[in-house]
Chains A and B, each alone.
Chain A
Amino acid sequence: MFLELYRVHLFITKFFKEAFTPPFEGKEILKQCYQVGYKSLALISLTGFITGIVFAKQSRPSLAEFGATSWLPSLVGIALFRTLAPLLTALISAGKVGSSIGAELGSMKVTEQIEAMEVSATNPFSYLVVTRVLATTITLPILTFYTAFVGLLGAFLNVTLSESASFSAFVQSFLESITFLDVIASTVKAIIFGFTIGMVGCYQGFNSSKGTEGVGKAANSAVVIGMFLVFMEEVIATQITFMFRT
């Protein structure tokens, strides 16, 4: 257990060392960013949209009781933006992207492709790990904003079904309820989630045991550990932002 923690520590240290030493793999990072976005986009759109609809629908009756349905955009907006969007995006990416990184690097490890890269004088750590971790770290904040936007669309759709409302007014009222702190907090959170997902996937893949079994295990642990860490980080992040708010 402590040995494992030490190895994780070494892995992360190595990441920061390699990330700041040339050669930088710009092209490969872009390719990986595209992969991350492409893999999660469909599921994120669907989940974000449905969450928006359902959340608006569920909260409407309670708000109506107090005659406060006009608060709906800010309520939905805050919930989406502060927690739901970062969390949903991270969980979906942990499932889709984390597992595929774990499986990909795991099978590369098992079939000696990583060693092949090393002996043909390419540093596999910077080429495979650094690029993927940077890609998830960069892409997750973007996806998070996208999820929030799609969720808002869903909520708006729910609202227009029962009353006529203008989308710009809806967005306006959402924007008014969002503070600068919210933007910073959600972005930082998404960056941390992205880093975590990429790191866990790569660590599991890079250290996968020999045999095809190892590949499955790497992919599986990438998801399980990734999701677990994301939840833990969410709890901690919420505590910290609350400290700032008061």
Chain B
Amino acid sequence: MEAKSKTTTTETVISIRNVEKSFGDYQVLKGADLDLYKGENLVVLGRSGTGKSVLIKIISGLLTQDAGTVSVLGKEVSQLNAKELLELRLRIGFSFQSSALYDSMTIRQNLEFPLIRNKKNLTKGEINKAVETVLDAVGLMQTINQMPSELSGGQKKRIGIARTLILQPEIMLYDEPTAGLDPITCLEINRLINEVQERYKTSSIVITHDLTCAKEVGNRIAMLLDGQFQRAGTFDEVFDTDDQRVTPFFEYNFIQ
């Protein structure tokens, strides 16, 4: 399998500078710098607990950094008022690690929810059409009337992705999209992430510790080590090293 290559644009959609974040005495991010270029899939690698989820929660305004700047689509997230933050969030899709489907709602209601809540002037027909379009995009049309509890882990992930796609976001944030899935389902999710990139022209950050996923979807890879992004580049560039903190990832994933 060939790793993907870098995209050619250098127009940034997310720009993170010197971001710090602590919980109590524990400093998770210690001056992280990262750029996301328009149209690319940027994979963020790092061990559990290194602050990957914290980082994308800061990007979507769920958490606020202690220091540094996070600019998304030209706006400094921590400076936005409630209404501006709302508008920005409509342009960002967030796929949660646990899928986060509303388990009291059917799949159809899950998918409708963001639309009904945010686009009050849509007709019933337009909503149905949008729901069917995203369901088709993730290949799960048959589940439309089921409850989330009836779906497999991989299916939930896809529906979670579909629910964010329905607002046609410009940016996608995937938090460990393949964690806990079997290898074949992982490949399907990887393919879906690439399809979303092409079809919806999104710029994405994909958090993972799965190197197959990183290689297959990532135009660039950035490694979060000790609260900073210390290595960034194509897959081959990042792993062409003897750094003891980096090599175990590679060994674990490919030399079993």
Contact = CB atoms under 8 A, between A and B. Distances in A.
Contacts of B96: 112, 115-116
Contacts of A115: 57, 62, 94, 96, 100
A118 B96 CA distance: 12
Interface string B60-83: 101000000000000000000000
A179 interface: no
A113 interface: yes
A112 B97 contact: yes
A13 interface: no
B98 A121 contact: no
A119 interface: yes
A112 B86 CA distance: 18
A118 B98 CA distance: 15
Contacts of A107: 103
B92 interface: yes
Interface string A109-151: 0011101111111100000000000000000000000000000
B89 interface: yes
A107 B102 CA distance: 10
Contacts of B199: none
A120 B163 contact: yes
Interface string B154-191: 00000010011001000000000000000000000000
Interface of B: 57, 60, 62, 86-87, 89-90, 92, 94, 96-104, 113-114, 117-118, 160, 163-164, 167
24 contacts: A104-B104, A107-B103, A111-B100, A112-B96, A112-B98, A113-B101, A113-B102, A115-B96, A115-B100, A116-B100, A116-B102, A117-B102, A119-B60, A119-B89, A119-B92, A120-B94, A120-B113, A120-B163, A120-B164, A121-B86, A121-B89, A121-B117, A122-B113, A122-B114
